Structure 1
Amino acid sequence: MFKSASSEIPDSYYQTEPSLVRPRSPTPRRTLYLSNLDDQKFLRFSIKYIYLYKKSVSVESLKSSLSRVLVDYYPLAGRLRTSAEDEGKFEVDCNGEGALFAEAFMDLTADQFLQASRRPNRSWRKFLYRLDSRNFLDIPPLVIQVTNLNCGGMILCTAINHCLCDGIGTSQFLQAWAHLTSKSDDVLPISPFHDRHLLSPSSIPNITFTHPEYTGTTPHHHEGINGIHFLEQMLKSQSLVPISVTFKPSHILNLRKHCVPSLKCTSFEALASHTWRSWIRSLIPPASLKVKLLFSVNVRKRMKPELPRGYYGNGFVLGCAETTVKELVGSNKNIHHGVKVVQEAKAVLTEEYVRSMIDYLEERRAKPDLSTSFVISQWAKLGLEDLDFGEGKPVHMGPLASEIYCLFLPIVGDLDAIRVLVSVPEKIAEKFEYYMKDIMGAEEEKEEEEEAREWHKKSFKLSSFMPCN
């Protein structure tokens, strides 16, 4: 059950100053346009991944392969800047300045970190070199730190600017770097596609949808107003603590069975509905309050023509499921309604909807409506956990820190399991964990576990989703 205490890690130390790793050979000197999906204000941060390896890779080898891969991914060696034509918009100056690379040492073993890895804590920030920067534009798009452990292992931490890449794009880049580290003379399995003009706005804006993912809910009566204030007060007034719950294939199968045969659903839809319901049940807002679930959806194949293979920019949009508290938490274990509204939110995301959203962002530069929203970012099924630099796959992969956004994380060594990580107000932490685990029970039996794995081999459909945090 929930425990608020987290294990602090020791301080790291640096024998040398961080250095800039530049592309090995000349790269195009150009300005890279960022689409409206790239240049959203809520994406102006870096996606921070942390990897634990039992056996370290030489820093010189990592730097050499990084220098090589930056020839292909040269925008990551550039710098963000404000557009001269529009001060509210960012672009990338592809100037080859390089990625920041730091090497650190820590009196810690891989096993000690694994014992504390279930819940990230603020001390993990020691795994990433801290830059003295005045603003977001001063930070290189790619920052890397390798921390050598005293057991011979290493922790690799990467910070990749979200304006340049989404979850699929970051995975594509990291896999390319790892590939060139282990096979230095080989070519990249996927060539990056840089151009973002495929997602340019219309010359005359054509906004054909209302876009509830960006527009706030207007309460129709006093209870609704109080409900919004209640949620905002709950989330802002208390310290947040991370909750981590692992769902084995048998657990996910059990969730899906609650919707079969009356409603067929994917594993993502079932787990998203269950997590959303658990969050609302823990907070206990007014029954009539309209609440939202925002979740990231990969639209690369929904566009016509499809975005090219190798497109590593932001090719996702936010799906928005809406319902009332009463409808969502109606019965004790009924995820049926939540799944239904998630499916409806996915179905509306046609090419026309995406084009309308791009034009909407061109006119309004809007931020997502977070007043009554729960946000899920999908990191599973992207291959992030398979990053092998030549000395084996990681024994742990996850975020550098836990945030209020919910992450669906891969489990190293178990393709069909998912770890749900989210920070919640301390007052509701124990209750939230209880509701999340309430679905677990007798289905731990070995036979049902094998049945679940067979089910997943045939019908696991998480790959169309991807992260926004």
Structure 2
Amino acid sequence: MAVSFISRRKEQELVTPARSTPHEYKALSDIDDQRGLRCYPAGVEFFRCRRDAGTPSARDIADEPVGIIRAALAEALVSYYPLAGRHVELPAAGGKLLVDCTAEGVVFVEADADVQVDDLAGQTLAQPYPCVEELLCSDIGEPQDPVLASHYCFSSDGFAIGYRHCRSIIDGFGMTQLLDDIYRLARGETLIIQPVWGRELLTSLSPPCTMHSTARTTHFRQPPPPQQQTLS
């Protein structure tokens, strides 16, 4: 049986980093700067409510999920602060794309729907999701040019997180790391691995260079062969 529903969206808001972050420009690599990557891929993740409070630190996600996730996102943006900026194009530099780390924030949309998580695809959620556009942000891009937009749709037994991200700025692996860190912070934990930019490693040199100098390899003396012992 086909499932049909409509999510009731609230007004868009911008979630900014929880604390002050550097205001600077971040250059993209020559790989990330390709025209074909200037798009907004989408993804959806589903969560069921866990109502057991077996430990004092356990949180019932049904109590106040919006506030918990919003706070976790704001905290994550302290480390992932380029995602709270805006991408800008430099016509004088051949259309080079940069990230202006303005800390304006990521698009955050809260919504609710009269549908159960299990109604979407039975016990095992699998693509294609019914009414997937109801789980994603719309109207993103110019003139705001956000790096990330997230849509949080809640029902009585769980919620879905739909997101669109600027592929030039963050790829699928980076998005997975970001989401894992948001969930980790929502559980009251801390980040295990701090994100790094490092785009200069994938930027071509001008003029091109086919040789790259490395530190001299240290040669260690081979250990002597093991001695054979005769058992009497």
Report the identity percentage. Answer: 28
* 1:7 paired residue among 2, 5, 17: 2
Whole-Å separation in 1 of the counterparts to 2:207 and 2:130: 46
Whole-Å separation in 2 of the counterparts to 1:28 and 1:304: 33
Q: Is the 8 A contact 1:99 1:142 kept in 2?
A: yes
Higher share in helix:
1
2:136 equivalent to 1:128: yes
- The letter of the residue matching 2:202 is L
Q: Is the 8 A contact 1:141 1:161 kept in 2?
A: yes
Whole-Å separation in 2 of the counterparts to 1:140 and 1:11: 25
Q: How many aligned residue pairs are there?
A: 199
1:285-300 map, 5 Å: none
Deviation at 1:139, TM superposition (A): 3.5
Whole-Å separation in 2 of the counterparts to 1:59 and 1:95: 24
Deviation at 1:193, TM superposition (A): 0.7
Tell me the residue number matched to 1:50: 44
2:149 equivalent to 1:164: no
* 1:147 paired residue among 148, 153, 177: 153
Question: Taking structure 2 as the reference length, what is the TM-score of the superposition?
Answer: 0.77
- Root-mean-square deviation over aligned CA pairs: 2.5
- The letter of the residue matching 2:150 is I
Tell me: higher relative CO, structure 1 or 2? Use CA pairs within 8 A at least 6 residues apart: 2
* 1:59 paired residue among 45, 66, 70: 66
Distance 1:132 1:155, change over 3 A: closer
Indicate the SS of the match to 2:41: strand
Q: Is the 8 A contact 2:121 2:129 kept in 1?
A: no
Q: Is the 8 A contact 1:9 1:124 kept in 2?
A: no
Q: Is the 8 A contact 2:3 2:120 kept in 1?
A: no
Whole-Å separation in 1 of the counterparts to 2:28 and 2:213: 20
Q: Is the 8 A contact 1:33 1:195 kept in 2?
A: no
* 2:31 paired residue among 24, 34, 37: 37
For structure 2, the residue ranges without an aligned partner over 5 or more in a row are 50-60, 215-232
* 1:189 paired residue among 192, 212, 215: 192
Deviation at 1:178, TM superposition (A): 1.1
- The letter of the residue matching 1:144 is S
Instruction: Give 1 or 2 for the bigger CA radius of gyration.
Output: 2
Query: 1:294-321 CA distances to partner (integer Å, 9 max, x unpaired)?
Result: xxxxxxxxx998xxxxxxxxxxxxxxxx
Q: Is the 8 A contact 1:82 1:89 kept in 2?
A: yes
Deviation at 1:125, TM superposition (A): 0.9
Deviation at 1:53, TM superposition (A): 1.1
Deviation at 1:47, TM superposition (A): 2.9
Q: Is the 8 A contact 1:7 1:121 kept in 2?
A: no
Deviation at 1:52, TM superposition (A): 1.1
- The letter of the residue matching 2:181 is A
Query: 1:164-190 CA distances to partner (integer Å, 9 max, x unpaired)?
Result: 122221111111111111025x3x111
- The letter of the residue matching 1:86 is A
For structure 1, the residue ranges without an aligned partner over 5 or more in a row are 1-5, 208-302, 306-469
